[in-house]
Amino acid sequence: MTALAMSSGVSILAKSAFAGGLGRRSRFGVAVSPGAIKNIFYDTGGNATSANDNNGHTVSSAISYATNYAAPDRITPNSTTQLSSSFTYTSFLGLSTVTGPNSATASSSYDSVGRLTSSASPHGAVTYYSYAYNPTVVTSTTNARIVKTYLDGLGRTIKVETGDSSGVKLVTETEYDACACSPLHFAQHDARRPRPVGRRLRGTLSSLGSSSGSRHRWLS
């Protein structure tokens, strides 16, 4: 089921302009899985305003001028305001803060070109991000934990190194097939010397990205 509601912050011209687009997106109005049906309701700007599962569970979102009606300010389950989560954004709609029902807040900061520079979890952990090029590497540091993500020219992850100030502890590598649309396989190994006796997961994906099998062993 898909229903439309008038959005007071959207002009009449915008409402008319979005009418055709909403029709094309109406296939997302109902999600059906074994034993479950989800109904999604949209406003005339194409924003999802509420959803229910036909079992008495509902989620509603509030959208306002603060985000130019492009992102939710608040999400509320079952009309229970005490369980609401609220969101704030930067001028370019980067998520700035998320405040949960218990007032615990997570926050993110960005640089002048919109790249994430730091993020703070509700539990107090702060992660800092830095960027390098040729090759493209994104480094995230949380306390003593360091994760380096290497990207190819298309912005896809090709290697992730996890470790600390003493060195790399774990490496995950990704290769892509000829169509450049999905991972061909991924490999993971423990980079410590000597490697402990154990097993690691090696999996393969088809050209459509579906798993075609897996086996376990340590890489030499």
Mean pLDDT of 64-69: 87
**Between residues 168 and 23, which one has the greater pLDDT?**
168
Compute the distance between CA of residue 39 and CA of residue 50 in angstroms, rounded to an integer: 8
Neighbours of 161 (CB within 10 A): 19
Least confidently predicted of 3-7, 31-35, 169-173: 3-7
Annotated domain spans of the chain: 1-71, 125-220
**What is the SS3 assignment for 170?**
strand
pLDDT confidence of residue 45: 81
Compute the distance between CA of residue 57 and CA of residue 33 in angstroms, rounded to an integer: 16
Contacting residues for 41 by C-beta, under 8 A, at least 6 apart: 2, 3, 4, 5, 48, 49, 50, 51
Mean pLDDT of 150-162: 92
Residue 5 half-sphere exposure toward CB, CA atoms < 13 A: 15
Mean pLDDT of 175-204: 49
Q: From residue 24, give the alpha-carbon distance in Å to each of 13, 15, 18, 19, 20.
A: 19, 15, 10, 9, 7
Confidence of residue 182 (pLDDT cuts 50, 70, 90): low
Mean of pLDDT over the chain: 75
Evaluated on CA atoms 44, 47, 49, 54, the torsion sign reads positive
pLDDT in tens, 114-150: 999 999 999 999 999 999 999 999 999 999 999 999 9
Q: Does position 213 have pLDDT exceeding 50, yes or no?
A: no
Q: Does position 69 have pLDDT exceeding 80, yes or no?
A: yes
Burial tier of 27 (Cβ tally within 10 Å: 0-12, 13-18, 19+): exposed
Q: Does position 192 have pLDDT exceeding 60, yes or no?
A: no
pLDDT in tens, 16-38: 334 334 333 333 466 666 767 78
pLDDT confidence of residue 7: 53
Burial tier of 98 (Cβ tally within 10 Å: 0-12, 13-18, 19+): middle
pLDDT confidence of residue 207: 41
Q: Provide the β-strand partners of residue 74.
A: 62, 86
